């Protein structure tokens, strides 16, 4: 039941994001890295999105980031063989459940990028559960940055 609601929510979010996707991104301000490099991807699009506790649906800020990722990938993506989406969880869950949650988060990003026109065949997901935190800390500030999905260019 609840998942159906989530899926409907995600569809609504996609429509909303599509409506906003023509908004130009704030690129080019201090372009010190070479265009098309992973550093450029991080600077222009942002390589990661964050999630709420125990959730894998995409927040509005995450969708905005993924829109920029999709735009960047369409421009420079042919330099890379694949885009690996790493799903992560904070440490406030058990190891096995967090592996499943990380996979679900990575898949949310993958699904969204596909709807934005990224080729399915170039996207791969991998879950690290709570094994690879971005921030080693035990407060909400750290946990909120560890609940993430990172797009890695390979």
Nearest to 144 by CA among 89, 86, 77, 64: 89
- Tally the C-alpha atoms within 13 A of residue 54's C-alpha that lie toward its C-beta: 3
- Least Cβ distance, residue 1 to another protein (angstroms): 9
122, 127, 132, 133: CA torsion to nearest 10: 100
The contact set with another protein (CB under 8 A) reads 2-3, 54, 56, 91-97, 99-101, 103-108, 110-111, 125-127, 131-138, 142
Which C-beta is closer to another protein: that of 72 or that of 112? 112
Residue given tokens 């993958």 in the structure block? 110
Which C-beta is closer to another protein: that of 37 or that of 94? 94
- Least Cβ distance, residue 4 to another protein (angstroms): 8
- Least Cβ distance, residue 96 to another protein (angstroms): 4
């Amino acid at each position: 039941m609840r998942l159906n609601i989530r899926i409907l929510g995600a569809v609504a979010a996609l429509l909303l994001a599509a409506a906003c996707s023509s908004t130009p991104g704030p690129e080019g301000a201090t372009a010190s890295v070479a265009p098309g490099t992973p550093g450029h991807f991080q600077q222009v699009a942002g390589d990661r999105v964050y999630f709420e506790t125990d959730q894998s649906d995409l927040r509005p800020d995450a969708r905005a980031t993924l829109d920029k990722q999709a735009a960047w990938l369409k421009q420079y993506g042919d330099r890379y063989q694949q885009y690996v989406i790493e799903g992560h969880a904070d440490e406030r869950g058990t190891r096995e459940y967090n592996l499943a949650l990380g996979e679900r988060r990575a898949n949310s990003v993958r699904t969204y990028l596909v709807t934005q026109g990224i080729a399915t065949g170039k996207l791969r997901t991998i879950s690290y559960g709570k094994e690879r935190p971005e921030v080693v800390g035990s407060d909400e500030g750290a946990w909120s940055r560890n609940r993430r999905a990172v797009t890695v260019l390979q």
